[in-house]
Chain A
Amino acid sequence: MSIYQEIILDHYKHPKNFGEIDKPSKSSRAINTVCGDKIFLTAEIKDNKLINIKFSGTGCAIAVASASLLTENIKGMTVADLRKLDQSFILKLLHIELTPNRLKCALLPLEALHKLTT
């Protein structure tokens, strides 16, 4: 089965939460050294809760879809809960199986998120 399913392609072509938040309370960046892809996150955190989050940067369909889905699904979570998010959370959102190389692409936004919450 192709990993380029409707949901991935849709989020790639029309990413949610793409852009940057003005005066974010937190920001972070993650880079995939294999291809130079960068994901930049800006977030508004209030009382230990994620109020808003946006992403920008360059990435492949998997990285962009992952960032789009991730940012769409974590608003309202506490910082403690965000820290607990792992690979399985991303893979459930993407709903595809990935080889080790492409897993790096999918996990790039999560890496940026973890940098944001530490």
Chain B
Amino acid sequence: MLNTKKIKQDFPIFRNLPDLVYLDSTATSLKPQAVINAITDYYTKYTANIHRGIYKISEKATEEYEETRTTVAKYIGADNQDEVIFTRSTTEAINLVAYGLGRQIINKGDEVAITIMEHHSNFVPWQQLAFEVGADLKIIDIDNEGKLDVRDKKGKIDLERIVSRRTKILALTYVSNVLGVINPVKEIVGAARKINPDIIVVVDAAQAAPHMKIDVKDLDCDFLAFSSHKMCGPTGTGVLWGRMPLLKQMFPFNYGGDMIEEVYIDKTVFREPPYKFEAGTPHIAGVIGLKVAINYLQSVGLDAIHDHEQAITKYAMEQLRDSFGDRLTIIGPQNYQDRIGVLAFTFKGCHPHDVAHILDETNIAIRVGFHCAMPLHERLGTHATSRASFYLYNSEQDVDQFITALMRVQKLLT
């Protein structure tokens, strides 16, 4: 277990709100002082636009910004930092692929495959694309445990029901933001490529990047997207990684400044990736902050963070079961090892809104609703759920307070 007392000191929000029990890192994580300092430094010491100024502070801004590209590439095991594109969010990153490549390669009668557990940001872009061009939307279901239903009786990945030679794109999440389940992405990519070697695989890593080591080469995916704000970085900054040949083939989505080589009345020459996709002044401070966030996570250690979250999740699942038995149902795999620190649950007789509201009365922050995954809730046949999630700053004491507050909810409402 990590020394959370020490870690909490890195996050100034705990100085301002000492009683805060923050169990909503899946929505957005808290920010360490180092990241806040990096943002302030940019705005107070070298505020300048990037890529164009012939003066010291602009060159400094460019250098800091571009350094993040290298840091991100290393973080996800990519060899070429030019394959890293900065976007506003995971959502924008996925939409960029759907618009820039999806609309180029998917035609009537083709197929796009997704899973039922996708966040709306990796569901709706593909659904709408399919509607638009007349393609078929294929959906990988889940089994009773909440894992992707992709295995045959022998436990081998079998995608024959979903993927065919006509499947141009397979888009799936690495980790579900509701079930907490970690999907066997590498095995799925392998099985999909066996059926269709040309398939393009897009991985939504928004819930994976903050919590575990990622290696795009090992996963053998074609695109991977994630957000800075869920991994201790600033909001408004996202990442799209893609294979260079595909990035070269892909159309830009935003046209404008910084993405062009030459512009004439009768033609425009675009810059090479990644700049082709970064028109307009980006969120410079956000991108610089992301680098510091990654450095911070690595200084704690991704393995240590993962182990810590596993321990907290195990503890929380045990405490919930001991305290509430079958009155409280945890959604998704019941084995803590199959999931990250996300626990969505239903609580008999207690509406999620009331649960969250009563918890907030003792400064415990959890999420309630559909968590941007309505198709999954529909599939599970459940109403809105409550969701507690854990990160490196959460302690067993946070879990204890959470349990005590849930007892109060039960007492009040039932």
Please list the residues of chain A having a beta carbon within 8 angstroms of any beta carbon in chain B: 2-4, 9, 12-13, 34-37, 58-62, 102, 105
Contact = CB atoms under 8 A, between A and B. Distances in A.
Interface string B383-403: 110000000000000000000
Contacts of B353: 35, 60-62, 102, 105
A107 to B, nearest CB: 13
Interface residues of B, number: 15
Interface string B308-320: 0000000000000
B357 A102 contact: yes
- Residue from the set B352, B357, B358 with the largest chain A CB neighbour count within 10 Å: B357
A105 B384 CA distance: 14
B364 to A, nearest CB: 14
A60 B361 CA distance: 16
A36 B357 contact: no
A35 B352 contact: yes
A61 B358 CA distance: 11
A20 to B, nearest CB: 20
A2 B358 CA distance: 8
Interface string B353-382: 110011001000000111000000100000
Nearest to A58: B383
B360 to A, nearest CB: 10
B193 interface: no
Contacts of A3: 357
A100 to B, nearest CB: 13
Contacts of B354: 4, 60-62
A61 B352 CA distance: 10
A59 B351 contact: yes
A35 B412 contact: no
A35 B361 CA distance: 20
B413 interface: yes
A59 B352 CA distance: 10
A26 to B, nearest CB: 27
A3 B357 CA distance: 9
Contacts of A60: 351-354
B368 A35 contact: yes
Nearest to A34: B369
